[in-house]
Each structure stands twice: as structure tokens, then as C-alpha cells.
Amino acid sequence: MTSLPDLKAHILSLTRDYARQAHASHRPAADPARTPWPEGSPIPYAGRVFTEDEVEAAVSSTLDFWLTLGAEGEAFQKELAAFLGVRACLAVNSGSSANLLALSALTSPLLSSERRLRPGDEVITCAAGFPTTVTPILQNGCIPVFLDNDPVTGNLRVDQLEQAYVPGRTKAVMAAHALGNPFDLAAVLAFCRRHQLWLIEDNCDALGCSYTMPRSVAESLGFKDNSPGLDAGPDHVIRWTGTWGDLSTQSFYPPHHLTMGEGGAVNIVNSALLRRIVESFRDWGRDCWCPSGKDDTCGKRYDWQLGELPKGYDHKYIYSHFGYNLKPLDPQAAIGRVQLRRLPEFIEARKRNWLRLRRGLEPLSHLLEFCLPTHATGFDPATGAFEWDDSGCSTDCSWFGFLLLVKPEAPFTSSDLGRHLASVGVGTRMLFGGNLLKQPAFVQLRSERPEALRLVEAEMPGADLVMERAIFLGTFPGLTEAMIDQEVSLIRQFVANLV
């Protein structure tokens, strides 16, 4: 009779053979074992990139059949935290759930009364982006205060921050690094420090992006050390995005920098208290911190007295928050661990793909305006080098997508371009929800409860411009050079037929 270890090894060997044959088209673009892309076939804007390693990890974990978050999840959380250089990462079932948990954590009664968010408190965000960066603010009874967007970077306009601030009411800033382009962290952090505000970085589109500050600026904001694996020299501090704020969030949905199918994470940058709070909200709101399947790690399971419960009530069933159950599954975490090992190569592939698109579309710069990294003032297509402003800050983008704006003088719109590319099999996306204030849910909210949100200015021209003229192509590591060149050729042909 075959032993269980040998039987499992045989199953996993067959699994690898199957995956090599069935999923060869999903391998990284640079992998020589990848199925060649048939010229003229569809080009998605994003997708899963994996090999037999991820499939084996998922099947191995499933055969063990623990299922709920366990050993693989614990390892994944520690490995992601080590990569970023943060205190802790807590895996969740989606990036949207991560945003909900991060904002909800700031409502905890365990925080000081001065900084705790309560219904009616205000959280600064921006108008254009993905809705679940904003909806957690509303779901917790707080008021989102909308800044406009800079259409060239896609990010919030930091020059409007002080205008948005209301003493005693403004408690936090929650904003995304748009399409892997870090927002102006130096300005946002200085604003938050000045007014003792929380900062939540929505890092869902930006895992593997970095931001550099002059050391004097960084140290004045409380940062002395670089992130693991990064070095900007003695005069600067460089850190991954998602490590500058108090909390940050990740998404591991298939288009993102790594995938678990569904999934996400909350990154706790420094605070042990915030770690405890986020974990409580994620795990039903319970006070107990024992992982699933373990008991009495505090050593006093039956010795607590909290609330009005009798002394000795089982700590596993004491609840200090109105929480959720937002954990992913252990097989997902097993996949994530393999993906995390690929992250450095995925980051570099996204940079290369953005640069190839930018160079290929340069001849259309009279009709198309291209995104620039935050703090960049110009770009040299020949060298691939950026010119930087005089702040001393710079960004290194692991691009989620290649954003472009159709200029008003162009004989076509962004929708025309998107419609044409879809007809020839090229995937594109708008900048998610565009100006969210124009979305049906927000229009209805403003009509029924105008006090539920606030605009720093009556009009949002930057967000409207992004909504009306922006479109983005993919940069994911499954794109080959031939696929990118085909995209460029199709866009050039489309324009040539109209000009």
C-alpha cells in the first residue's frame, strides 16, 4: 500500500505535469516555456500570471484540507511584512475588505478619544478613482471630503489639503496611489503630521512602487530607515509605498501585482495596537487573538473580565468590536506565497512594459497626453529618463496600467479609442469610476443626504477630465513585446485613419 506522503508526492507530480500543459499561456512573458502569442489574437489589459508552482501549492494545501486561514496564511503574512518592512500584514478576502478594515480600525474605542473616528468626522479623499477607497468612510458613518485629481498623475491635488481641513472634524486622509503612481507622500505626510491625522494608503494598485525623499525631509516626518532591499544613498530615504502611512491596503485580485484569485491584505506599519484592532475587526470583532485552531495563547483564557460579562467567561467568545469575518482561505495564501517570490520580476516587467508603450506611442504626443510619475516634470523617450521637480522627491513606479489622456484637439474621444481597441481584441479600462461624484450611487446620496459628503470646491475639473478623456492599457507581466508592439500598431493605425 502506498504511503500517504508518497501518494501526495505522486499527485503533486501529476499536478505539475497537468499545469505545464494546461496553463502554458499564463506563464510570465519572458518564460521560454510560455506558449507563443498567436499574432492577432486578443490582448487582455491584465490577467493571471503563474506556473505549475502556484497550482502545486494550491493543490497541496487543498489536499491537507485545513482550508481556513492557517499555516500557509501565517507564513504569507510574515513574508509579505518582511518584504515591505512593516510591523505586520493581515491577509483578507479582498482589497475592498482591506479598505473597510483599515478605516473601521480607526473607529475603535481602544484608540484615544482625540483621534478615534466617530460618526460625522471627516476623512479627506479624492473624487476620481475606485469606489471602495471611499465607501468605507460612508459605511462607518463618517463624511468623505473630496479633493480634485491631478489628471497628469491621476492622484489627489495636494494643494487643496489645507482648504479641506476643519479643526476638530478632520481626522484622516485615505487615498490611493493611482495606477501604481505614488501620490505626493511628502506633502500628504507633512499635512497629516501638522494636524495629527491618520493616513491610510490604498496601495492596491501600487505594490512594489517606491518613493524617495531627501533625508532631512524624511527624518522630520519620522522616517530614518529605507525599506528592505532599497537604497537611495546617504542623502535620501527610500521606502515602498504602503509603508509611509499608519495603515495601508493591498488587493490580490488577478489584475494586481500578485494574485491569490480573490484576496488582499492590511499592512500595519508600526503600531501594535492597530494590529490588534485590525485583527479583531477581521475576525468577527473578537477580543481574543488566538489563531484558528489554537486556544489559550494568552495563558488566561478563563481569567478575563470585560464588559459586563462574568469573570472567567471564555475569552474566545468575548467581542470588543462590531466586526466581520473577512479572512481568505489557506489555499489562497499558498498561492500568494509563490506569487510573492515572483514579485521582484513582476515589478521590473511592469516598468519595462510601461516604457515600451510610452516610446511606441511617442509619435502621437500631439494628440495624446501621457501620465507622468509624481514629481516628474518631463520625460526623454530616447533614454527613458525623467526630469524631476526641485522638491528632491522622486517616485519609481511599478505601473498597474499605462494611462493616457486624449487631447481636446484629437479627432476622437477616449471612448472612441476604447471602442475601437475592444473591437480588435485589445483590453482597456477607464480610470475605474472616473469622477465618483457622477456615479449613480453618489448622485442619489447627494440628493437624499447632501450632508453625507463634502466637496472642497463645487467643481472637480481634474476628475471630470480624467472621466472624459482618460483610458489605460495594461502593463502586466504576461504581456510580451510582440503584444505591446501590436497594441501600439493598432493605435497608430486608428489615429492615421482619422487624421
Residue 354, C-alpha cell as written in the block: 510601461
Residue 177 annotated to the active site:
no
Sign of CA dihedral 413, 418, 423, 425: positive
Q: How far apart are CA 460 and CA 307, in angstroms?
A: 47
Ranges assigned E (strand) in 27-112 = 88-92
**Which of 256, 315, 375, 420 is labelled catalytic?**
256
Q: What share of the chain is helix, strand, coil (3-state, %, to 5)?
A: 40, 20, 45
Cβ-count burial of 19 within 10 angstroms (0-12 exposed, 13-18 middle, 19+ buried)? buried
Please state the length of the chain. Answer: 499
Among residues 183, 328, 330, the alpha carbon closest in space to that of 252 is found at 328
**Cell 472567567 -> residue:** 312
Q: What Å distances lie between residue 253 and 95, 130, 141, 232, 463, CA to CA? A: 8, 14, 27, 31, 25
Ranges assigned E (strand) in 79-216 = 88-92, 122-126, 143-147, 170-176, 198-202, 210-214
User: What does R_g of the chain's alpha carbons equal in angstroms?
Assistant: 24
Query: Which residues, 6+ apart, have CB-to-CB distance to 459 below 8 Å?
Result: none
Among residues 19, 474, 428, 101, the alpha carbon closest in space to that of 268 is found at 101
Query: Which residues, 6+ apart, have CB-to-CB distance to 92 below 8 Å?
Result: 98, 101, 263, 264, 265, 266, 282, 326, 327, 328
Q: Give, to the nearest 10 degrees, the angle between helix 330-361 and helix 71-84.
A: 40
**Cell 505549475 -> residue:** 52
Q: What Å distances lie between residue 121 and 4, 191, 289, CA to CA? A: 57, 17, 29
Q: Is residue 424 within 8 Å of residue 488, measured between CB atoms?
A: no
Q: Is residue 354 within 8 Å of residue 399, measured between CB atoms?
A: yes
Residue 416, C-alpha cell as written in the block: 472612441
List active site positions: 256
